[in-house]
Structure formats: structure tokens, C-alpha cells
Amino acid sequence: MSEQDSPTEVPAEYVAWGDSADLPASSSGGPARIGVLTSGGDAQGMNAAVRAVIRSGLHLGAEVYAITEGWQGAVDGGEGIHAMDWDSVGNVLHRGGTLIGTARCAAFRERSGQLAAARHLLEHGIDRLVVIGGDGSLTGTDEFRRHWPDLLTELVASGDIDQDVADAHPALMIAGLVGSIDNDMVGTDMTIGADSALHRIVDAIDAITSTAASHQRSFVVEVMGRHCGYLPLMAAIAGGCDYVLIPENPPADGWEDDLCETLRAGRAAGRRDSMVLVAEGAADRHGNPIKAEQVKDLLAERLGEDTRVTILGHVQRGGAPSAYDRWMSTLLGFAAVREVLAATAESTPHVLGVRHNRIARIPLVTSVQATRAVGAHITAGDYDAAMAARGGSFREMVDVFATMSRPPTLTAATPPAAGRRVAIMHAGGLAPGMNTAARAAVRLGLDAGLEMLGVYGSFKGLLDGDIRPLSWGDAEGWVGDGGAELGTRRNVPTVEHLYAIGRAIEKNEIDALLLIGGYDAYEAAALLVRERSRYPAFDIPVVCVPASIDNNCPGAELSIGADTALNNAVWALDRIKQSASASRRCFVVETMGRRCGYLALMAGIAGGAERVYLHEEGITLADLQADVTRMNASFRSGRRLYLAVRNEEASEMYTTDFLARLFDEEGRSLFDVRQAVLGHLQQGGSPTPFDRLLATRLVKAAVDDIATQLDAGTSYGRYLGHMGGRLEKRPLAHMDEDVDAEHRRPRQQWWLDVRPAVAAVSQPGAS
């Protein structure tokens, strides 16, 4: 779910999800002992990471201890360090903050504090740590690791520990996880909490927009981001805002005039409200701070606008974590346990981060140094270096926002010329984010000198001639709307329709087709490309952008709409689990996805499911027998809830109803069973920030490709998507090479590699 690319100078190595190696034992012959702590500011998703560390450690045979209130717990000792069992982290996935507490510990910066921390850790035999925090916490941890041998020598000399203890724990092995809502750690695409914070901001913008439009008001919203503009920039794009001020890219002199002219032009183009986002660390090119109140006064004075200020503050840190901050934090916690268990005294300490949806090992020192360099670049006024440090796509999104937010009267775009008419059309099932994609296509297309046409009603609308030109203002308000203003249908045209489709393309003088949809859309586009020799009208650029909650489009690791559907599913699972809190109950929950198990697996991880059934793995009678045995044993040992998630087409015979009846019969009076089919709930609601950003990035690539083809006179049929961090453009003529046509899904699905983590956090004592 990467939204930015880390700079290439920060090395990373992807984590392989293979079998766990034999675990090291302590010198006393007992299991390895791991400590986990959260330090610095809290971030949504920390609980998911702590839960994963504790359960993965126990699953792999280690003992795990919580160190409470950050490093303060280690310095104080006593109850500040205590053993955790499997159930101590039950029912915490949906909770914000951190159940083991966090604080900034001044005493730990002193030698005496580090001596106390080392002594207290050794009292429990702990010499492996997973630390979840920001760059300051991770730097302090690495310093503690480097001082460890000297600390032990001093503790032996003072008589606080025996030499045997020092010899048994000669080194401290550490793994870091970055918990920061600012997404400010260089080297990882996303930090724990950033996606949830972005949810809070965009939800607030959506809510403010409705009241602002009602009164034709302007709002200035202050967003966290002292040295990092990720949150305000991405929120401005996802929220359809007019202007954004971020630390890495201060506005040029005269920005006040530019701001006022942009807002004035937006109102003239049809906007009923104006929205300006200001990062808390925003400043001008001379280092003078720019505050929200200052912007409000400016708009009131120069535009006579009725302007309000909203400072979101700590609401950005609070509340339940998003689905992403649950499943990705779970994977990070699992990977961190494997990291510290495999570490030796000679191992280089690593941060476990995210690169292109994969868990990656990043050298801790290198990452921290690069992160701190960004602030230094900003202080020195070297904004190009600061922007470069944030990664290539960060700069790209700065440019995209500038293009999409500026009304046409302020741009240098040339009017569309003949032969540059581009039709935007949806096909396939509804996916949240289709409106965001269509809006982006209109605004980016107009800026590229294209004439943008909306085809209403998919291929039927094309046949009926329901095609209308779209202006900059026509797409106003679409960015956060669910549904699809242009309409969509699943029907794929057949050979009998091709002549009529060709005539419609010719009649409406369509020079290129931008198709935003799911697997059905891809099949339809591939058919048009294959039939070009018979129907010359199809010999135009045809570009497909993936939009499907099933996440089964070839050539794309993530489709527009899948993240929203996942968040909807997890929202439902939270409430289902809550309904079972007063009884002993098994729930069998069915998700959408057809024969692609992405939604089921990720919802299972994010929702805390004990079992996930996928079509990719199938279901056997032996599987069900083992599941019943495990389920009964868990309820006998005191469990109150067992959650099983089933992909809707996991098995033709073993349906959701069958599983529920089987479990009910086998459970008898031990527990009762309920089933829930989530259905179209997963397709509804406003698109998540990630789906809005993904739609914008993919459509930007599609529009650029179409414009380039029209300039060059080429007519390629392509489908676009991100694969392993790269934007791929693959030929529709060879789509069959990428797909499992029988099951309507890609041949290679990256997310299947994370399945070992499900067992690690759901099955205690497994081998």
C-alpha cells in the first residue's frame, strides 16, 4: 500500500516469509526472551504490532515481556517489566494508542538510567528487544545496544550482576518498528499510524466541506507535520483542497497573491467552498512561520471571505486504527520477532519497514541519519534536497496537486486540438474511488490539452450515445463520493456488439479510451484490441486502470476500491466481535472477492480471525476436522469468541452455511455459531484516502500515456498498475500471460506470501 517511494540511497532487503529457523536458546537452556516496548508519541496500530510481537514470539517458542511506559519501565524495573501470555493481548486490534503505555524517558539518556535498564532487563534474562517508536526512540535504543558490553562490565564491577549473567548475555539484539503518524522516517514507505492519521484528516475535511459548501465559506485546517509534509499533502489531494503549505516546499515570495487568486478562480469555476491545509511546520522561503490564523486573516482581508480555522491536533493520533495499520503492523511485528530471534552479537541492527507492500530490512543507523538530514535541509533552505529525500513520488504528488487544484483560468494548458478527444468509461462492478479516478482524469486531461468526454452507463451508454463533454467544474465534488457518477455495468460486450461499438466510436469522434474498471473491463478492452483488424475504429489508444474491490486485476498489486472494501469489512468484523462479547460464540463471516482471497486474508489479519478460508488454498474435510478440534479445545480453555473468515468462493461445496452448521453441530453446548455475509456493504461508502491517492496516481500515468500516444500517433492497448514499486504498462494483446483465466485472477499474487503470519498470531504453541 505504498504511497511514496523511499530514496534509493537508503538500502533495503525484502524479508522472505519462509519457514522459521531453529530458535536460539539462552545459556541456561531455556527459551529466548524478548522484550517489547513502545516509546515516544503514540500511533494507531501500535497495539497491532505489540500483539503480533507477543503472539509471534510465543508461537515460535520464546518468552515475551512487556516493558511499560517506554524506556521508563526498564529504568524503573519491578512491574515495569512483566511477562505476557497469549490472552493478554486479546481484543486489542481495534484500540488506538498502546496498551503497554509510552513515554519519553529523560533518565534513559543518562548513564545511570541505562545501567538501571540493563540490570532490570537481565533480571528477566532479556537480551532481545523489539522497540516501536520514532527516530529518537530508535536512536536511543541503538546507543543502548552499543553501550551494552560496557554497561555489563560496570554492573559486574559494582556487584549488581554476576559474571555468569554477563557471559550469558554478551550482546543486545534489537529490531525497530517505526511508529509515527507523520510518516517521516526515510527508508520506509509507510510508518505505523500514518494511514490512520490520514483517515482522520480526510474524514474531517469531508465533514468540513459539507458545512463550508452550505455557507460558501473558506476553511483553513492545520495538520500535523513539523518537518514532514506527507499528511497535509496527501490529505489535500485526497480531500480535493485548494491550497496546501508544507515544510519541504515553501511557497515562493508573493504566495499571498497566488493563494488569493487560486481561491478566487476556484469560486469562479463553480466551487462553493475553499479549503487550505497548513502543516504545523509550514514556513516561507525565508524561514518565517506560516500559521493558520495568518492565512485566515489574509483571506478575510483580501477576499472578504467568511473564513474559519480548524486545528485538528491530537484527533489525528486517536481512534481505531485503519485496516492497513492493523494488517501491516501485524506483519511488521511478526517479522521483528523473527529478526531478533535470528540475530547474533555481530548482526547489524535493522528497522523493519515497508517497501512496495513488502516488509523490508533497513539499516537502522542509515535510516535515522537520512531522516534527520531532511530537517537539516529544511533549516538550511535546501528545499530541493529535502524534497529529494522524501522520494520521487512525493515530488510527483506535489506537482499533481498543483495541476489538479488550479482552475483552468490560471494554467497554461492549451485548448484541446482536433484528434484529442478522450472518452472516460467505467466497466465491471462498482469500486469506491471510481469517481476520484474520473475527476482526476478530467482535470489532468484538460491540463494536458485533451478534450475529456464522459461515457454514462458503460458500454451501453456508448452504444446509446450518452456521451458528454466534461469541464473542470463538472468533476467538482467527485473526489470523496462513493458510487460512480458515470455509471458502471458488468456486461462485457460480445462479438455481436462490436460493429455498433465501432460505429459509436467513429460517430462521436473518440480518439482514445480510458477504461476504469475491474476484470470485466479488462476483458472488454482486450476484445476490442484483438478485433482491430476487423474494426479499424478500435485502432486507438486504449488504457485500462484497475478499479475492483476483488483486487483481481492483472498487472496491478492493488486495485482502486480494494482498500475501502477492506476497511468496510474490518468495520463490520469489529461490530460482529463486539456482539459476541456477552456469549461464547463462533462467527463465520463471508467476504466478497470471488475467487481472489485478498479481502478475506487481509480482513482476517486486520480483524483478528483465527481461521481464513481462501479459494487459492481450497478447503478439505481434513482441514475442517482439524479446525473443529482446535476450536473445541480453545473454547474449553476459556475462549469466548472464535472468528473464521471465508472468501465467498473458497469452496463450491463447503459453503458459509455448511461451515456454520458443521461447527454448530460439533460444538454442541460448548458454544453457539452465527454466520454473517457482508455482501455489498464492502462496495459502499466514501473511498478511503489510500484509494483516492491510488486513483490519482494511476490516472495520472494513464493520461500521460494517452497524451504521449496521441502526440506520437500510436495506438497501444495497455493496462496499468504498480508491481513491486514500478509502474507497469502491459499490452492487452498478451493479457492471457498474466491471468489465470479460469479463476479470473492474476497468476502471481504477492499477498499470498504473508500467510505464515496468520498462524503465528492465531495459533498458540504451534510449531
Active-site amino acid positions? 182
- In this structure, what C-alpha cell is assigned to residue 767? 510449531
Q: Any idea which residue has 527508508 for its cell?
A: 187
Q: How far apart are CA 658 and CA 446, in angstroms?
A: 53
CA distance 38 to 49: 10
CB 279 within 8 A of CB 313: no
Q: Which candidate, 438, 445, 592, places its Cα nearest to that of 511?
A: 445
Q: Using CA atoms, how far apart are residues 666 and 684, in angstroms rounded to an integer?
A: 36
Q: Which residues pair with 361 in a beta bridge?
A: 13, 352
In 3-state terms, what secondary structure has residue 225?
Answer: coil
Q: How far is CA 492 from the centre of its chain?
A: 31
Q: Could you tell me how many helices (H) and strands (E) the chain has, helices first? A: 23, 25
Spell out the residues 6+ positions from residue 619 whose beta carbon is closer than 8 angstroms to its own: 613, 650, 651, 654
Give the E-state strand segments of 518-666 in sequence order: 542-546, 585-591, 611-613, 641-647
Side chain identity, residue 532: R
702, three cell numbers: 494513464
Contact in structure between 566 and 622 (CB atoms under 8 Å): no
Kindly give, in sequence order, each residue whose CB lies less than 8 Å from that of residue 511, ignoring residues fewer than 6 positions away.
Answer: 419, 420, 421, 422, 540, 541, 710
In whole angstroms, give the CA distance from residue 104 to residue 38.
10
Spatial separation of the C-alpha atoms in residues 66 and 37, rounded to whole Å? 6
Asked whether 661 and 459 are in contact (CB, 8 A), the reply is no
Distance (Å, whole) CA 660 – CA 644: 10
Alpha carbons 191 and 183: distance in angstroms, whole number: 5
CB contact at 8 A, 189 and 355? yes
**Sheet-wide strand order for 585-591:** 611-613, 641-647, 585-591, 672-677
Q: HSE on the CB side for 417, CA within 13 Å? A: 6
> Comparing C-alpha atoms, which of 439, 150, 427 is closest to residue 271?
439
**Long-range CB contact pairs, 708-714, < 8 A, 24+:** 709/512, 709/541, 710/419, 710/420, 710/450, 710/511, 710/512, 710/541, 714/541
Q: How many CA atoms lie within 13 A of 432 on its CB side?
A: 25
Q: Which residues contact 315 (CB under 8 A, 6 or more apart)?
A: 200, 204
DSSP strand pairing (726-731 vs 467-469): unpaired
CA 36 – CA 39 distance, rounded (Å): 10
Residues 281, 248 contacting (CB under 8 angstroms): no
H or E element at residue 574: helix 562-579
Other CB atoms closer than 10 Å to residue 742's CB: what's the count?
A: 7
**Under 8 Å CB-to-CB from 217, ≥6 apart: which residues?**
211, 273, 274, 305, 306, 307, 308
Q: What angle do CA 379, 385, 390 make, to 5 degrees?
A: 100
Please answer whether residues 643 and 607 qualify as being in contact, where contact means their C-beta atoms are separated by less than 8 angstroms: yes
